[in-house]
Amino acid sequence: MTETMIDFDGGWRYGFPKALPDNHNDDGFDIYKWLVENGYPQSEIDYWLNSRLGYVPTRFWEEEDE
């Protein structure tokens, strides 16, 4: 079985990368709410959303679940 891993700008300071929950593809899944619940500061999210980029720099990859 594989897990979808996620990491964000400076995520290492907040315990990332982490595996996304199985329901991460559901229509109602709020990635930003999940990030805050998992230790990523709302202030970092707000900074990136209000930047020229308009999104939080993110990388995803698949890992085999051990």
- 9 token code pair: 């700008």
* 57 pLDDT above the threshold of 90: yes
Residue 46 has pLDDT above 80, yes or no: yes
The whole model's pTM is what? 0.82
Q: Which residue ranges make up each domain of the chain?
A: 2-64
Arithmetic mean of pLDDT, 9-35: 92
- Label each residue of 9-44 as H, E or C: CCHHHHCCCEECCHHHHCCCCCHHHHHHHCCCCHHH
- Average pLDDT of the chain to the nearest whole number: 92
Residue 16, CA distances (Å) to 10, 19, 39 in order: 8, 9, 9
pLDDT exceeds 90 at position 66: no
